[in-house]
Amino acid sequence: MDHGPRVEERGAGGEPPPLLRDDVPAGDASPVLPLLRAQAEQWRGVPYRLGGNDRRGVDCSAFVQITFQSQLGVNVPRTTDELAREGQRVGRDELQAGDLVFFKTGFRQRHVGIYMGGDRFLHASTSRGVMTSSLNNVYWRRHYWKARRLDLDELPTAVSLSDESR
């Protein structure tokens, strides 16, 4: 569970600064990125609910599980603790779209999101629901713990990475 900032970074006119907006290319040519952007658009604003796993409310680890299953056809564990043991550890300076980013937000509290490139990650925030945030935000930078990369090289053929209908 996170207790992230209540106010997301904003520029003039209330818009996120250009380098933080989701529609600005992150320089990451990953085929996973369009799928993550589609998920962000479909779920944006869905409220946070501890233990929730649908559009009425979702917690951070359920959102990761739903995203990996629905967008990538990959089954991942349900809890943040289990997710934190999956895949390979990756340095913050080596992050790629689709990597899981983890935060220690309290004594025994952990939070997870999905890296999208450009120092942005997609997550279910306790304060604002499903949204993207910057890893460079003071709160997230201070609570950053680690990142893990899951093996996405062999996505099921049922998942089309170029499907424009998403």
Positions marked active-site: 60, 111, 123
Neighbours of 115 (CB within 10 A): 28
Exposure string over 23-38, b if 16+ CB within 10 A, otherwise e: eeebeeebebbbbbbb
Nearest to 2, CA basis, from 85, 110, 160, 145 = 110
- Residue 60 near residue 109, CB atoms below 8 Å: no
How are the residues of the chain apportioned to helix, strand and coil, as percentages rounded to the nearest 5? 25, 25, 50
